[in-house]
């Protein structure tokens, strides 16, 4: 088992990519901490799945965009579980709006969750990792960090920030044996993409993907497992592109 004896905090793990990473980690012997914020999400279903492989796994509700909430929760988790070896900054939101119509409250919400929230968790957890002189931090970004899409300027801004958060953190934390890397998913079938019901659009997307299929949360979870394990011990400050070859194309994205 690649993660036996380790404990991982995965934010936004009640559904989608985060939930699949939680399941994959637990099957590799990891104690999983499932972070969630919305009580309507199926967090109990995910925890039930995870506990089949890792009985010590737990769920915890806290808002990653609130620094004090994050710090109090991380302190509590470390006290109860003995530490956090792996952090997966997965939680995020996507809202669509034209640049000229973007409301400031929506801009602030996206940045506070996607970027500031990732920083809050990284900062709080890395303090304990420094003491232990070990840690794996994985930030989930998006191809929006370098590929512009219509009506997503605030989302792209947040994900571009993740790129430099990863690189700066890797530079500062490397001497403490802490690896910091980014996974950059392409078009992945999750709750976010389900909001786009246009089948013709999704078919056009598939045509632009070298592997000719939309990605799955399992595809991202495989990359996360690699970065969380000892297989990636000499990899830090970089990114793994999980997009099926979507960004190989220079064609105009069809929306």
User: What element of type H or E holds 10?
Assistant: strand 7-10
55 CB burial (10 A radius; 0-12, 13-18, 19+): exposed
> Bridge partners of 61?
36
Side-chain-side CA neighbours of 114 within 13 Å: the count stands at: 25
155 as an active site residue: the answer is yes
* Class of residue 99 by CB neighbours under 10 A (exposed 0-12, middle 13-18, buried 19+): exposed
How far apart CA 194 and CA 198 sit, in angstroms, is 9
Q: How many angstroms separate the CA atoms of 115 and 168, rounded? A: 14
Rounded Cα distance, 212 and 186, in Å: 13
Token output for 130: 């420094």
Of residues 155, 196, 234, 255, which has the active-site annotation?
155
CA-nearest of 9, 121, 141 to 66 is 121
CB atoms within 10 A of CB 186: 23
Q: Which residues are catalytic?
A: 155
């Amino acid at each position: 088992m690649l993660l036996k004896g380790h404990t991982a905090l995965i934010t936004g793990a009640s559904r989608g990519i985060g939930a699949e990473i939680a399941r994959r980690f637990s099957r590799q012997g990891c104690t999983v901490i499932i972070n969630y914020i919305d009580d309507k999400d199926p967090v109990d279903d995910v925890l039930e799945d995870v506990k089949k492989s890792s009985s010590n796994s737990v769920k915890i509700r806290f808002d990653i965009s609130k620094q004090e909430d994050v710090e109090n929760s991380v302190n509590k988790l470390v006290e109860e579980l003995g530490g956090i070896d792996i952090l997966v900054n997965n939680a995020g939101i996507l809202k669509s709006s034209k640049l000229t119509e973007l409301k400031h409250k929506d801009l602030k919400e996206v940045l506070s969750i996607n970027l500031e929230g990732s920083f809050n968790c990284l900062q709080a957890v890395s303090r304990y990792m420094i003491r232990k002189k070990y840690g794996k931090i994985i930030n989930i970004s998006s191809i929006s960090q370098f590929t512009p899409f219509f009506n997503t300027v605030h989302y792209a801004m947040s994900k571009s920030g993740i790129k430099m958060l990863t690189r700066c953190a890797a530079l500062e934390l490397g001497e403490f044996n802490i690896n910091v890397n980014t996974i950059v998913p392409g078009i992945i079938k999750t709750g976010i993409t389900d909001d786009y019901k246009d089948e013709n659009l999704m078919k056009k997307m598939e045509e632009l993907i070298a592997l000719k299929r939309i990605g799955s949360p399992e595809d991202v979870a495989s990359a996360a497992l690699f970065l969380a394990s000892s297989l990636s011990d000499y990899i830090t400050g970089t990114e793994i592109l999980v997009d099926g070859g979507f960004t190989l194309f220079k064609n105009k994205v069809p929306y």
